[in-house]
A and B are shown apart, each in its own frame.
Chain A
Amino acid sequence: DAGVTQSPTHLIKTRGQHVTLRCSPISGHKSVSWYQQVLGQGPQFIFQYYEKEERGRGNFPDRFSARQFPNYSSELNVNALLLGDSALYLCASSSDGQETQYFGPGTRLLVL
């Protein structure tokens, strides 16, 4: 059974551009969470979606948005990219969002 998949694996953008990151959860999982991990730090919670509804949001600006599709896959969108948005973006899936989460390999975003 496939684990959490994310695309693309790497991405280079310039300041001011927009980016869309994609995630497919483990089959049967209905919840997807997004995290940002800056080098040398632990993952920081951005969003959680469950059954296509936003369940929670971390302390991130409105430039960050997400959605979940009927097949439970998800997209994270970041507008007006800043240099500080350079990070590893991780997607995690779980059955209901409140217990163990399983992470994908991440998308490494570099903003120049």
Chain B
Amino acid sequence: QKEVEQDPGPLSVPEGAIVSLNCTYSNSAFQYFMWYRQYSRKGPELLMYTYSSGNKEDGRFTAQVDKSSKYISLFIRDSQPSDSATYLCAMNRGFKTIFGAGTRLFVKA
């Protein structure tokens, strides 16, 4: 079993839709939880970062962490074609960061 599980998609939604992206994890030692966005042939770009259970909002993005269920989510409101990318969840324990496989998102105009 992988430490971090993420559905690779692809996920296709119309412009303006609310997008929900999710990851589950098995190791309760993870301390920090991140979401990265990666455009094709580019390096990952940090979107959201949190270390506690609950919600964190930044513009159209909301990150949600549920440590009791070992489940994290990223919500994107009013999705735009420019949001089309691969979204990677990541979790950190000490020096080591573990990434999910990434979910490919397509937002259709």
Interface residues of chain A, those whose CB is within 8 Å of chain B, are 4, 33, 35, 40-45, 48, 50, 55-56, 58, 88, 90, 92, 97-106, 108
- From B31, B44, B88, B98, A45 is in contact (CB under 8 Å) with B98
Interfacial residues of chain B within 12-41, with CB under 8 A of chain A in the complex? 31-32, 34, 36, 41
The distance from the CB of A89 to the nearest CB of chain B, in whole angstroms, is 10
Residues from chain B with a CB closer than 8 A to the CB of A99 are 32, 49, 92
Of the listed stretches B54-62, B65-73, B75-83, B99-107, name the one at the interface; the rest are far from the partner chain.
Answer: B99-107
Q: Is the CB of A58 within 8 A of B44?
A: no
Q: Is the CB of B101 within 8 A of A102?
A: no
Q: Is the CB of B41 within 8 A of A108?
A: yes
Q: Is the CB of A43 within 8 A of B44?
A: yes
Bound-state CA distance A41–B90 (Å) is 13
Bound-state CA distance A45–B92 (Å) is 11
Our count of residue pairs bridging A and B at CB distance below 8 angstroms stands at 62
14 examples of A-B residue contacts, CB within 8 angstroms: A42-B88, A42-B90, A42-B99, A43-B88, A45-B97, A45-B98, A56-B94, A56-B95, A56-B96, A100-B32, A100-B46, A103-B45, A104-B43, A105-B42
Q: Is the CB of A106 within 8 A of B42?
A: yes
- Size of the B side of the interface (Cβ < 8 Å), in residues, is 26
Given A40-B8, A88-B41, 18 more contacts at CB 8 Å? A41-B101, A41-B102, A42-B4, A42-B6, A42-B90, A42-B101, A48-B95, A55-B95, A56-B96, A90-B43, A99-B92, A100-B46, A100-B49, A101-B46, A103-B36, A103-B44, A103-B46, A106-B43
Given known A40-B8, A41-B102, A42-B6, contact A103–B96 (CB-CB < 8 A): no
The distance from the CB of A86 to the nearest CB of chain B, in whole angstroms, is 14
Q: Is the CB of B100 within 8 A of A42?
A: yes
